[in-house]
Chains A and B, each alone.
Chain A
């Protein structure tokens, strides 16, 4: 199954709205995708700016966001046979890359604030049976993207909470994940239509939420592919 677990829409800083994202991936034959708009930490200045610019899903908007994702997920299933997981990208942004971290929570049910400390976020995710993915955990090649190194720098402490690490993000590959033999997936970090062509995950499992999550957690039957037209 061709999968992409890291996709943004206009609910945060993506440039393509949710229905078009669904159609774009559905028309391209994807089997599983996850919608993961940003939830920024509103306690710091960068997060406040993100919220002010409406680049974040807030607690107030979360219900509406999930409802729209669920509605589109149903349409995606009916029309394309494509499974859509609702999720968020918890975005803890600081001036220092070493302090910054982004975490995907997939198949999330209730809102999780980005201002919580890491342990509390991870435990809440476990409580909701959400999948926890550390995204772009190492240095990125895109000069416009800011590195988020906190989780990698503190891997000894946090790895036990993390179900998978992004071994590839859009055009980057993080070989350190391979060296550490951590469970992995790949995602596009989709913000624009051209990001459709990027690293993806291939899963060998049934097309349902339970099996997809188990496949990633067990990290058996997982491969990555560079999706090109």
Chain B
């Protein structure tokens, strides 16, 4: 029974951690609201607030395949209220269906500086960086904005995201991600996770721990800083190119800033398999980067921990109340957070929140069993600091000896 109370305490601790994440998100977004209301600027740009800062930006959009709402996502960058910017869509394959969508967007906005690059660059192992490199070489403006194809932004996005750059001490600006849409189970799970764990963690690290946390879906840098950090070439062989770039720029003595401007990640028709694949990959990446700090993620998954007690001791009064209460509080927290960030998710989606957390609890163990990841059709093995290595079948050594034993057993059984 004592062990049960330990589980209950860990669940409680997880909920406290989640409450702090909610506070972090509130405080982060309140900063924007206060600024809009009172004219007080971002702490990093206070002294520059009187200037209208709209330096030219090169927007690099790596495309591969059809993301949900791709047309709207791409077009949202054409509708920017910004004086001078260029958009470079880059694809690696001429037959990629995304190229046609980009061409349609270009056709609808003939007055804008839009180009579409088709180049199969294979300079490294990171497919996104391979796709980006030709566009990076072609970019002509002093600010480089790398933006994923699955994000949609408002017309004031460029104007908002560049403001922290008024301060020369700022080297990189990224944005919090808000999951919107959801017409399939995988998409519902994805949006719930983006709006709770990802949004909460990013704001928590930024506000309370002052740790540079970069989300690669939107990264704005000065070209000169990026060149000093080794350019995109320096991150061609890592999976977490966003994290490594942020860390390098931070180590150069520049600030990494999380903008208050949330950008939408539209997810409508995700399959459950895609959700599992992405979060297994991200889990492995965080394990390779964070090491034993990755354990905190399991402890902070209060729903999973509370349901473990139900699994270990069966449905007793204590375990049922614990699992039920924690699940209810998590649903309430997710609902509150989504309302706070105006994600526009239907209320009934939040009923899936505990199921998603249970699934995430199971997926947490994936990095302990394997270091291979599949990303956009490519399979890799990831090493320390998310360094990619080509996958050449089952590796000779595993992270743990027992997984090697297990794999040998599986192979033998398979033969039999």
What residues make up the interface of A, taking CB atoms closer than 8 Å to B? 2, 23, 26-29, 80-81, 193, 227-229
Check if B108 sits within 8 Å of A81, measured CB to CB. Answer: yes
**Given the complex of chains A and B, what is the CA–CA distance between A228 and B97 in angstroms?**
8
Partner of A2, one of B68, B69, B100, B269: B100
Report chain B residues within 8 Å CB of A2.
100
| Complex: chain B residue closest to A193, CB-CB | B269
Q: Please name the residue on chain B nearest to A26 by beta carbon.
A: B71
Q: List 17 A-B contacts (CB under 8 A).
A: A2-B100, A23-B69, A26-B71, A27-B66, A27-B71, A27-B101, A28-B97, A28-B101, A29-B71, A29-B97, A29-B103, A80-B71, A80-B104, A81-B108, A193-B184, A227-B97, A228-B97
Q: Nearest chain B CB to A173's CB is how many angstroms away?
A: 19
Closest to B102 in A: A29
Contact (Cβ within 8 A) A229 B104: no
Residues in A with CB closer than 8 Å to B183 are: 193
* Shortest distance between the CB of B302 and any CB in chain A (Å): 34
Chain A residues with CB under 8 A of B97: 28-29, 227-229
Secondary structure of the B contact surface, majority rule:
helix
Q: Of residues A23, A28, A193, A228, which shows the largest number of chain B Cβ atoms within 10 Å of its Cβ?
A: A28
Contact A27 B70 (CB under 8 A): yes
A202 to chain B, nearest CB (A): 11
Asked if B324 lies at the interface with its beta carbon under 8 angstroms from chain A, I say no
Binary CB contact string for chain B from 345 to 384 against chain A (1 if under 8 A, 0 otherwise): 0000000000000000000000000000000000000000
Residues of B within 8 A of A193 (CB): 183-184, 269
Question: Nearest chain B CB to A182's CB is how many angstroms away?
Answer: 27
Instruction: Kindly report which residue of chain B lies nearest to residue A82, judged by CB atoms.
Output: B104
Question: 5 tightest A-B contacts by CB?
Answer: A29-B101, A29-B100, A27-B71, A229-B65, A229-B66
Contact across chains for A27 and B107 when beta carbons are under 8 A apart: no
B66: chain A residues at CB < 8 Å are 27-29, 229
Q: Determine whether B72 belongs to the interface, using a CB cutoff of 8 Å to chain A.
A: yes
For A26, the chain B residues whose CB sits under 8 A away are: 71
Bound complex: CA of A81 vs CA of B66, how far in Å? Answer: 18
Q: How far is the CB of A91 from chain B (nearest CB, A)?
A: 27
CA distance A193 to B69 in the complex (A): 13
Given contacts A23-B69, A28-B97, A81-B108, 12 further A-B contacts (CB under 8 A): A2-B100, A27-B69, A27-B72, A27-B101, A28-B66, A29-B70, A29-B97, A29-B103, A29-B104, A80-B104, A193-B184, A228-B97
Q: Given the complex, which residues of B lie within 8 Å of A23, measured CB to CB?
A: 69
CB distance from A23 to the nearest CB of B (A): 8
Distance of A31 from chain B, by nearest CB (Å): 9
Q: Enumerate chain A residues within 8 angstroms of B65, measured Cβ to Cβ.
A: 229
State A229–B377 Cα separation when bound (angstroms): 11
Residues of A close to B69: CB separation below 8 A: 23, 27
A-chain residues with CB within 8 Å of residue B107 when the two chains form the complex? 81
Docked Cα-Cα span, A227 to B100, in Å, equals 12
Given contacts A81-B107, A81-B108, A193-B269, contact A27 B68 (CB under 8 A): yes
**Min C-beta distance of B118 to chain A, whole Å:** 15
In the assembled complex, which residues on chain B have CB atoms less than 8 Å from the CB atom of A229?
A: 65-66, 97
CA distance A26 to B72 in the complex (A): 10
Pick the contact of A28 from B70, B103, B108 — CB < 8 Å? Answer: B70
Q: Which residues of A contact B184 (CB under 8 A)?
A: 193
CB distance from A225 to the nearest CB of B (A): 9
A81 lies within 8 A of B100 (CB) = no
Bound-state CA distance A80–B70 (Å) is 12
The residues of A that contact B72 with a CB separation of less than 8 Å are: 27
Contact of A81 among B68, B70, B104 (CB under 8 A): B104
A81 to B107 alpha-carbon distance, docked (Å): 10
Contacts of B71 in A (CB 8 A): 26-29, 80
What's the nearest-Cβ distance from chain B to residue A226, in Å?
11
Question: B66-101 interface mask toward A, CB cutoff 8 Å, 1 = contact, 0 = none?
Answer: 101111100000000000000000000000011011
Cβ of B131 to closest chain A Cβ, rounded Å = 16
Tell me the complex Cα distance, A138–B70, Å: 35
Return chain A residues, CB-CB under 8 Å to B104: 29, 80-81
A207 to chain B, nearest CB (A): 11
- Binary CB contact string for chain B from 101 to 137 against chain A (1 if under 8 A, 0 otherwise): 1011001100000000000000000000000000000
B127 vs chain A, min Cβ distance (A): 15
Chain A's closest residue to B70 (CB) is A27
Residue of chain A at shortest CB distance from B74: A27
Which of B69, B104, B184: most chain A Cβ within 10 A? Answer: B104
| Closest chain A residue to B104, Cβ basis | A29
Q: How far is the CA of A227 from the CA of B96 in the complex (A)?
A: 10
Chain A contacts of B103 at CB under 8 A? 29
